[in-house]
């Protein structure tokens, strides 16, 4: 019977980051585009091969970089946890999740007119034709 491998330093780092953000492993995995099981294997450092038999799991650098972006883990933190390979794939200044959070804050702070202009620009970029009546009364259309 094999002994279960110890949790790797990056696994503890991700667990702490998720707890700090109030994010579940299930939701974090969904946002990273991986299964919850794979998330848990990578953060736990092992997978169960059969009853009582464990195999070490390290996780590819690109996957860890996606996980770090979701969890709000920085490149410096990944380096300190021994994953220089994954850290090199992240922006050293800020995690992608921080950029997304900032974007959402800015959108929420917009006035109604600013939000209309933004939606009109997005619609135009996507090639969506917005009828003049809908553009004039977006509050009714979006239930605000």
Model pLDDT for residues 12-62, shown as the tens digit of each residue: 999 999 999 999 999 999 999 999 999 999 999 999 999 989 999 999 999
Sequence-distant (≥ 6) Cβ neighbours of residue 142 within 8 angstroms: none
pTM reported for the whole predicted model: 0.62
The interaxial angle of helices 9-21 and 25-32, nearest 10 deg, is 100
């Amino acid at each position: 019977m094999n002994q279960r491998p110890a949790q790797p330093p990056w696994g503890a780092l991700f667990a702490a980051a998720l707890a700090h953000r109030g994010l579940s492993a299930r939701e974090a995995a969904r946002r990273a585009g991986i299964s919850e099981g794979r998330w848990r294997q990578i953060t736990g450092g092992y997978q169960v091969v059969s009853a009582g038999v464990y195999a070490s799991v390290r996780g590819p650098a690109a996957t860890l970089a996606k996980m770090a972006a979701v969890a709000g883990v920085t490149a410096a933190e990944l380096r300190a946890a021994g994953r220089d390979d994954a850290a090199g794939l992240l922006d050293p200044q800020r995690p992608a999740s921080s950029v997304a959070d900032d974007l959402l804050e800015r959108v929420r702070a917009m006035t109604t007119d600013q939000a209309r202009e933004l939606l009109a620009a997005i619609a135009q970029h996507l090639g969506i034709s917005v009828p003049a009546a809908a553009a004039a009364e977006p509050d009714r259309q979006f239930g605000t």
